[in-house]
Amino acid sequence: MTKTKTKYHISNKAPTLPSLQKTIILHLAEKGPQTINETVHNIKHHYKPTWIAFNSLEKKGLIQKINTKIYRGREYPQFWLTVTGQITALSNGANIEKLKQNALEFCRDNEEREALEVFFGMAKSLGPETANKMYKFLITGNFELSFLPIDETEVYKALSVAKRYPKYWKLTEEKIEKMREALGKVLSHE
């Protein structure tokens, strides 16, 4: 199977995060984009470890600078979750409705908005872990043994969400056809 190129990194599981990084991810998911200082004040933590945690999360591709806030004549970057960061936040227990509201308000382009709509639709009906597996299959076309067990009901729910978005439904049909071809080749060698 060939891989579809995508600008989103999607792992099978939410990365295991240190507690401060997890707190920051969940806080941003709840409150929306914030500066480091706003986050320090809201989570009631010290500045330096929070600053280090922000840098680490940015290097991991879980948050990104999306805007600047001017305070007393100085500019401070505001950070928000990347698509991977939003998936990680959901996998770590973020409120799906609040995260969806913030994500759709602050997303940058229509392609990202549609990707988020598909993922949140799956997450709502399947739960974040199974939705992550199905979303990864839709985007990359890779189906790994670690995705199992996914039962027939979960597959049906994921497909019904994908059907609502023509671009993703076409991708789904292409991936399923490639899987059929690959399975046909494997079964014909018996």
Q: Which of 65-79, 125-139, 164-178 has the highest mean pLDDT?
A: 65-79
Residue 8 pLDDT: 46
Do 33 and 97 lie in a common domain?
Answer: yes
Residue 116 lies in a domain: yes
Do 102 and 113 lie in a common domain?
Answer: no
Do 97 and 173 lie in a common domain?
Answer: no
Residue 135 pLDDT: 67
Do 96 and 123 lie in a common domain?
Answer: no
Backbone angles phi, psi at 107, to 5 degrees: -70, 155
How far apart are alpha carbons 52 and 115 in whole angstroms?
30
How far apart are alpha carbons 39 and 18 in whole angstroms?
16
Q: Does residue 40 have a pLDDT over 90?
A: yes
How far apart are alpha carbons 132 and 13 in whole angstroms?
8
Domain containing 163 equals 109-190
Do 39 and 119 lie in a common domain?
Answer: no
Do 82 and 128 lie in a common domain?
Answer: no
Rounded to an integer, the average pLDDT of 37-64 is 94
- Taking CA atoms, 26 is separated from 30, 81, 86, 89, 93, in Å, by 6, 10, 9, 6, 8
pLDDT tens for each residue of 105-122: 887 777 777 777 877 887
Do 84 and 132 lie in a common domain?
Answer: no
CB 83 within 8 A of CB 123: no
| Torsion angle, alpha carbons of 108, 57, 138, 135, to 10 | -100
pLDDT tens for each residue of 120-141: 887 777 777 777 776 666 666 6
Per the listing, tokens 């067990």 go with: 149
Do 65 and 139 lie in a common domain?
Answer: no
Residue 139 pLDDT: 61
Residue 11 pLDDT: 46
| 149 cis-preceded (ω within 30 degrees of 0) | yes
Do 145 and 101 lie in a common domain?
Answer: no
Q: What is the pTM of this model?
A: 0.69
Residue 4 lies in a domain: no
* Cβ contacts of 22 within 8 Å, gap of 6 or more: 92
For the chain, the average pLDDT equals: 80
Residue 159 lies in a domain: yes
Rounded to an integer, the average pLDDT of 71-77 is 91
Q: How many structural domains is the chain composed of? A: 2
Q: The domain that contains 68 carries what CATH number? A: 1.10.10.10
Question: 124 or 57, which is more confident?
Answer: 57
Last residue of a domain, one of 66, 85, 107: 107
Nearest to 52, CA basis, from 16, 85, 20, 82:
20
Rounded to an integer, the average pLDDT of 3-19 is 56
- The percent of residues in the chain predicted with pLDDT above 90, rounded, is 28
